[in-house]
Amino acid sequence: DRPGRGYRRVLLKLGGEMFGGGSVGVDPDVVHSVAVQIAEVVRDGAQIAVVIGGGNFFRGAELSTRGLDRDRADYMAMLGTVMNSVALQDFLEKEGVPTRVQTAITMGQVAEPYVPRRAERHLEKGRVVIFGAGTGMPYFSTDTAAAQRALEIGCDAVLMAKAVDGVFTADPRVDASAELYDTVTHREVLERGLKVADTTAFSLCMDNNMPIIVFNLLTEGNIARAVSGERIGTLVST
Ligand code: UDP
């Protein structure tokens, strides 16, 4: 955590819903604009690893309410995150950024397997590493994959890209008096029941002092701002 001076290595978590631009599948325009933002940061020398959700394809829990077996539904959803990962890879490479996709479920023709040491080497060489297929395990989330990967490959922070400005005292869509937190501790998030990530992901970060920055991806240039240590959104730290 080096606010003001920027982060050396970060894990950027992107929600799948954003990638779909509001419908099922991948919206190339959205992926392109995200790739442009990431490329800018990589050119400035920061090391970026990315985890993308799969909500634009499937969510296992939702499918299981419609009759699918939960484990299988979760695997289907994990495969969706791989499509998002490959789409982002494509647009990043078109921006001239070298990338590698590493998946938690082995699929050699599409991506490398997840090998943490190798991922670190890629990052050191200026490649963006995109982690697909979540943790590879049903009942987990891509938020949890983001927290776990960030810890294992030594990231300085998890950047949670959202469609809102950060963490609020209440839901700003419901409560007009809701205020944005500038900074908040992990413990306060728990005590006040604030929503930052799912509980498994959040407790991993809390137990291991991993800072989380929740920020609005829809504001152009925000990834660069967050990486440079500029105080945007909400910083969750101990
Ligand atoms: N998923 C899973 N294990 C993981 C990561 C994801 O089973 O380690 C499945 C789960 O069904 C989840 C879906 O993939 O609902 C999509 O991931 P997530 O909901 O985290 O995506 P997001 O909400 O960020 O788009």
What is the CATH number for 32? 3.40.1160.10
Task: Report whether 162 belongs to an annotated binding site.
Answer: no
Please answer whether residues 39 and 223 qualify as being in contact, where contact means their C-beta atoms are separated by less than 8 angstroms.
no
The total number of structural domains that make up the chain:
1
Ligand 1 atom showing the smallest separation from residue 14 Cα: 24
Task: Report whether 139 belongs to an annotated binding site.
Answer: yes
Interval 160-178: pLDDT, tens: 999 999 999 998 889 999 9
Phi and psi at residue 127, in whole multiples of 5°? -90, 145
CA distance linking residue 75 with residue 60, whole number of Å: 8
- ipTM of predicted complex: 0.98
Please give the mean pLDDT across all residues of the chain: 95
Which range of residues forms the domain containing residue 61?
9-237
Task: Please report which confidence band the pLDDT of residue 183 belongs to, taking 50, 70 and 90 as the band edges.
Answer: very high
Give 163's contacts (C-beta < 8 A, 6+ positions apart): 15, 18, 216, 217, 218
CA distance linking residue 149 with residue 129, whole number of Å: 11
Percent of the chain with pLDDT over 70: 98
Rg, the chain, Cα only: 17
Residue nearest to atom 21 of ligand 1 (CA): 53
pTM higher than 0.90 for the full model? yes
Q: Under DSSP, is residue 92 helix (H, G, I), strand (E, B) or coil?
A: helix
How many angstroms separate the alpha carbon of residue 140 from the centre of ligand 1?
7
In a domain, 1, yes or no: no
